[in-house]
Chain A
Amino acid sequence: MKSKLSRFSIPYVIWMALFTVAPIIMVVVYAFSSAEGGFTLDNFAQMGTYAVVFTRSFKLAIIATIICLLIGYPVSYMMSKEGERFQRLAMVLIMLPMWMNFLLRTYAWMSILENNGLLNQFFQHIGLIDLYNRIFGTNIEFFRMMNTQGAVVLGMVYNYLPFMILPIYSVIVKLDRSLIEAARDLGANTFHVFRKVILPLSLPGVLSGITMVFVPSVSTFAISKMLGGGTELLLGDLIEQQFLGNAYNPQLGAAISLVMMVIVVVCMVVMNRFGEGEEQAVML
Chain B
Amino acid sequence: MKKNNSAGNRLFMALVFLFLYAPIFLLIVFSFNKGNSNTVWTGFSLDWYKSLFQNRIIMQSVYTTLLVSLLATIIATIAGTFAAIGFYSLRRRQRNVLTTINNIPMMNADIVTGVAMCLFFVAFFGGWKTFATWFNGIQSVIELPVRLTLGFGTLLIAHVAFNIPYVLLSVGPKLRQMDKNLVDAAQDLGCTWMQAFWKVILPEIKPGILSGALTAFTMSVDDFIISYFTAGSSSSTLAMTIYGMTKKRVTPEINAISTLLFVTVLILLAITNIREARQEQRALRSQSMPAAAQSGDRPPIRSAAARRLPKLGGAVAVAALLIGTVLAVGRNAGQRVVNVCSWGEYIDTDLIDQFEEETGILVNYQTVESNEALYSLLKSGAGDYDIIVPSDYMISQLIEEGMLEKLDYEKIPNFSLVDDRFKNLSYDPENEYTVPYAWGTMGIIYNTAMVDEPITSWDAMFDTQYAGNVLMFRNSRDAMATALLKLGYSLNTTDEGELREAFQLLADAKRQGVYQSFVMDEIFQKLEGGNAAIGAYYAGDYLTMLDNNEDLAFVIPEEGTNWFVDAMCMLKDAPHQEEAHEWINFIASTDASLANMDYIWYASPNKKALEEYPAYYEELYEEPLDPEIYEIMAASQETLDQCELYLALPRETRMLYNDLWTKLGIG
Q: How far is the CB of A216 from chain B (nearest CB, A)?
A: 6
- Contact partner of A20 (CB less than 8 A), chosen from B161, B222, B468, B661, is B161
- Nearest CB of chain B from residue A190's CB, rounded to whole Å: 10
**Contact across chains for B86 and A6 when beta carbons are under 8 A apart:** yes
Which A residues are in CB contact (< 8 Å) with B164?
12, 15
Query: Which of B115, B225, B370, B474 makes the CB contact (< 8 A) with A230?
Result: B474
B266 sits at the interface (CB 8 A): yes
CB-CB under 8 A for A284 and B215, given A233-B666, A257-B112: yes
Contact of B109 among A4, A9, A94, A261 (CB under 8 A): A261
Which residues of A sit under 8 angstroms from B518, Cβ to Cβ? 229-231
Chain A contacts for B332, CB-based, 8 A: none
Instruction: Mark B331-346 against chain A: 1 for CB-CB distance below 8 A, else 0.
Output: 0000000000000000
Q: Which residues on the B side are within 8 Å of A24 (C-beta)? A: 104, 116
Please pick, from B89, B110, B157, B261, the residue contacting A8 in the complex, using a CB distance under 8 A.
Answer: B89
A residues contacting the other copy or chain, number (CB 8 A): 112
Question: Which of A101, A161, A283 is in CB contact (< 8 Å) with B222?
Answer: A101
Q: Say whether B262 contacts A98, CB under 8 Å.
A: no
At the interface, is chain A mostly helix, strand, loop or mixed?
Answer: helix
Any B CB within 8 A of the CB of A282: yes
Q: Which of B89, B258, B662 contacts A3 (CB 8 A)?
A: B89
The count of chain B contact residues (Cβ–Cβ below 8 Å) is: 116
- Across the two chains, which residue of chain A brings its CB closest to B109? A219
Mask: chain B, 74-103; 1 = CB below 8 Å from A; 0 = not: 000001101101111110000000100110
**A265-B100 Cα distance, complex, nearest whole Å:** 12
Smallest CB–CB gap between B94 and chain A, Å?
9
Q: Across the interface, which residues of A come within 8 angstroms of B197, CB to CB?
A: 5
Contacts of B9 in A (CB 8 A): 78, 81
Scan residues 197-237 of chain A and give those whose CB is less than 8 A from a CB of chain B. Answer: 211, 215-216, 218-219, 221-222, 226, 228-233, 236-237
Q: Are A27 and B375 closer than 8 Å at their CB atoms? A: no
- Can you give 24 A-B contacts (C-beta < 8 A)? A6-B86, A9-B90, A10-B86, A11-B83, A13-B98, A16-B102, A19-B158, A81-B9, A88-B277, A100-B261, A104-B27, A104-B255, A107-B38, A161-B20, A215-B108, A216-B109, A238-B665, A239-B115, A240-B111, A247-B658, A250-B379, A264-B109, A284-B211, A284-B215
The 6 lowest CB-CB distance pairs between A and B, nearest first, are A9-B86, A229-B517, A8-B86, A219-B109, A23-B116, A108-B23
Chain B contacts to A: CB under 8 angstroms: 6, 9-10, 12-13, 16-17, 19-24, 26-27, 38-39, 79-80, 82-83, 85-90, 98, 101-102, 104-105, 107-113, 115-120, 123, 157-158, 161, 164, 169-170, 173, 183-184, 187, 193, 196-197, 211, 214-215, 218, 221-222, 224-225, 228-229, 238-239, 242-243, 246, 250, 254-255, 258, 261-262, 265-266, 269-270, 273, 277, 370, 372-373, 375-377, 379-380, 382, 468, 474-476, 510, 515-519, 529-532, 658, 661-663, 665-667
Given contacts A23-B117, A103-B239, 18 further A-B contacts (CB under 8 A): A9-B87, A9-B89, A20-B102, A52-B666, A98-B218, A118-B39, A219-B110, A222-B225, A230-B517, A231-B517, A239-B115, A243-B118, A243-B376, A244-B229, A245-B373, A260-B112, A264-B107, A284-B215
